[in-house]
Structure 1
Amino acid sequence: MARRTPTIAAALAVSAALLLTACGGSSDDASKDKIKGADEGTKSPSASASSSTANGRPDVSVPSDLHLNFTFDKPADAAKAAAVDDAENYIRALKHGIVKQNPNDPAYQFYSGPVAARYAKSQIQAWMKGGWTPTGTDRYFDAQADSIGKSKSVLVTFCRNQTKSYSKSVKTGKINYVGESPDSYQKYSLLMAPSKAGSNVWKTQQIEVQGRVKECQG
């Protein structure tokens, strides 16, 4: 698969589009991302006590029947590498919240700015409303990280192949198998920023999900 090589100008354009939609949530033509009321409110939910790992970060583990497969080549630049790492952690935290069926799960709040937190919450609520939890293999790959102008923000983009990722009924355990389709391939754009000066934690500020992306078919 040919590697994407966006210019900084393109990265800035995407960033500007994300910032302009800060009050409107995110888009995904493929599945549960268009949620009524997802753009309501202006603040992320208040974090509460949660189990954490030895480094003080929240637990983002998922059950053994759900495989989150991230095959990212980490950038040589330390800041960009940290941004990519925590973009991955944001996705893991979102899945953790869905599995826990907790729309106020502290894990995703730890890795989110206000807009990204609303997106995560809306996703968890959608899965809960349907009575589903994820299972199977969810593959994320071909990550890129681009600095945004003179700011400390980094735009992280990557592909998703959810061909072998399915929904499972929380109540019955029955798996809803869906075959491969153009909706199986998505592209994620996450605008990342360090949480505070000197911190090694990067938070997702904005997120955009594009569905039916041919360049991600790989």
Structure 2
Amino acid sequence: MKHRTSPAAVALAATAAVLLTACGGGSDNSKNDAKTAVSKPKSETSASPRAKTSSSTDRPAITFPSDAKNVFDDRKTDDKTKAAILADSALSINAVDEAIFKGSTGTKALGFYNTGKALNSSITYVQGYIDDADTWIGETRYFDRRVTLSGADKAYVTYCSDESKSFIKNKKTHKVDRTPTTANSYVLYHTVLNRSAEGTWQTTDIVSNRGDKACQP
């Protein structure tokens, strides 16, 4: 299991309280964890889903190395708005991981799909990997992704991650930290997304609860 304090753990306590109330409960205890990763489910789609909300927007490409993968459950919905939100939520996650792989907090996608508090905490998260010369390998699964709309331009997305098959790898020593799977391999996330003027659903805030019962297998 790949463990590093996640971007969600950097969120302010007051913000966490607001998000958790809006999304239906939970608490952020990721602050006690050392390192965190990425995940995959049974009927799912892997890699980088592309949102189709704004054809006028020049969306940055996101690339992963061959030994790492994020997999997102294929939650089908006939609601085009919710489908676009889920797609951009996945791209927000992928953008953070791409920054880790590239060893840079200045990647185009990171600031394209994340803004506000979510971007600030993601930069802190990525910088932790850079400072320790770490990356990650394996597969992270994201599942039980749910959308709640709040007006025309705001949405709440909750989801779980399964980090049991992703591991931290040091770039200098090439050592892989293959820690065992525990309840803490599973994390519940609460996120806020706002639609930009160009139509992109950007993640603006995020909190998490590692080991949450709602995400256990």
TM-score by length of 1: 0.74
2:145 corresponds in structure 1 to 143
Higher relative contact order (CA 8 A, sep 6+): 2
Q: 1:18 to 1:104 in 2, by over 3 A?
A: farther
Q: Distance in 1 between matches of 2:34 and 2:108?
A: 21
Give the conservation status (yes or no) of the 8 Å contact 2:100–2:130.
yes
For structure 2, the residue ranges without an aligned partner over 5 or more in a row are: 1-14, 22-27, 37-56
* Equivalent position SS for 2:59: coil
List aligned pairs for 1:1-218, cutoff 5 A. 16-17=18-19, 28-29=30-31, 31=33, 56-148=58-150, 150=151, 152-196=153-197, 199-218=198-217
* Equivalent position SS for 2:30: coil
Q: Distance in 2 between matches of 1:68 and 1:102?
A: 19
Q: Deviations over 1:60-118 (max 9, x none)?
A: 11101001111130432111111111000000000000001102222110011221110
How many pairs align?
A: 179
Q: 1:82 to 1:32 in 2, by over 3 A?
A: farther
Seq. identity, % = 27
After TM superposition, what 4+ stretches of structure 1 lie above 3 angstroms from structure 2?
29-34
Q: 1:95 to 1:106 in 2, by over 3 A?
A: same
Q: Distance in 2 between matches of 1:208 and 1:121?
A: 15
The alpha-carbon deviation at position 172 of structure 1 amounts to 2.2
For structure 1, the residue ranges without an aligned partner over 5 or more in a row are: 1-12, 20-25, 35-54
Q: Distance in 1 between matches of 2:144 and 2:120?
A: 26
Q: Distance in 2 between matches of 1:106 and 1:94?
A: 11
* Equivalent position SS for 1:102: coil
2:45 corresponds in structure 1 to none
Alpha-carbon RMSD across the aligned residues, in angstroms, is: 2.7
